Amino acid sequence: MTELSSTQINQFQEQLERHQARVREDIRAELLAADEQSYSELAGRVHDSGEEAVAGLLADLNISRIDRQVQELGRIERALIRIRTGRYDVCGDCGGEIGFERLSSYPEAERCVSCQTQRERVFAHEGTPSL
């Protein structure tokens, strides 16, 4: 297993911390925007049930966007914890090496390419609506 150098780890940590700050700022901005244009305000401007449905959809989109950002923030924070505990380049599933190339393209990666591919195959149906 080829371990990451301390220079590489420091670079990843700095990159993750910058990304963390940007995501936190994005969440803060989204929350402020959502507060300024709440559902009740949107719904107060509607004149029929179709417009009310659009107002509800817009409110849901704001919540979904914030939820995605919070999930991203969690991935970043878990990566920073792995750096602090010396397990940044260790796959959470198999214990193998995640690898510099994968971390370079996706610094929050928690799994090696093989385990991530397997996970995506097994859980491909999640998030897919069904009737």
Q: Taking the CB of residue 102, how many other CB atoms lie within 10 A of it?
A: 17
Residue 33: its pLDDT value, please? 78
Residue 90: its pLDDT value, please? 97
Contact 78, 110 (CB under 8 A): yes
Q: Which parts of the chain register pLDDT below 70? A: 1, 35-61, 126-131
What is the pTM (predicted TM-score) of this model?
Answer: 0.75
Q: Taking the CB of residue 38, how many other CB atoms lie within 10 A of it?
A: 13
Domains in the chain and their CATH numbers?
Answer: 6-122 (1.20.120.910)
> Please, which residues have CB within 8 angstroms of residue 79's CB and are 6 or more apart in sequence?
12, 16, 88, 107, 108, 109, 110
Residue 32: its pLDDT value, please? 83
Residue 130: its pLDDT value, please? 54
Residue 31: its pLDDT value, please? 84
Residue 54: its pLDDT value, please? 54
Residue 75: its pLDDT value, please? 97
Residue 95: its pLDDT value, please? 96
